[in-house]
Amino acid sequence: MTAEDANARKAILDKLAQSREEMRQVLDPPRSESNGGDALHNSGSEFPRSRTMRALLSSRGLGAIGALAGGLLIARPTLALRVLRMVPVGTVGKMIIAKAISGLRARRAP
């Protein structure tokens, strides 16, 4: 490898590292550092960590997912059944049961 090739390779790798860092800054949620060192430990304890999954698991997100699933089932039933086979039924069932129980408890509370 010549010095010219090595310099070109280094420039490309530097640009890639810079673009990766920019993408990381755009996609990662902002971290609050008001508590000092404790913020790093607390940020990993929230589940789910990503804003996308939080939005999907909210009540509005679950309604949107249900509407999409219903539309898919009506429009293309074979594709919907094929996708349904890939979903872990046990995990989804536990989530639905937990949501139903928490909803019933919230309705009973004064």
pLDDT tens per residue, range 45-60: 677 778 888 887 787 8
CA–CA distance, 93 with 83 (Å, rounded to integer): 16
Q: Classify residue 103 by burial, with Cβ atoms within 10 Å: 0-12, 13-18, 19+.
A: exposed
**By the 8 A CB rule, do 43 and 37 touch?**
no
* Block mean pLDDT (10 aa), the chain, length 110: 90 93 78 51 64 80 86 92 86 83 79
Query: For the chain, which residues make up each domain, given as ranges?
Result: 3-29+53-108
pLDDT at residue number 27? 76
Amino acid symbol at 20: R
Q: 48 preceded by cis ω (within 30°)?
A: yes
pLDDT at residue number 76? 93
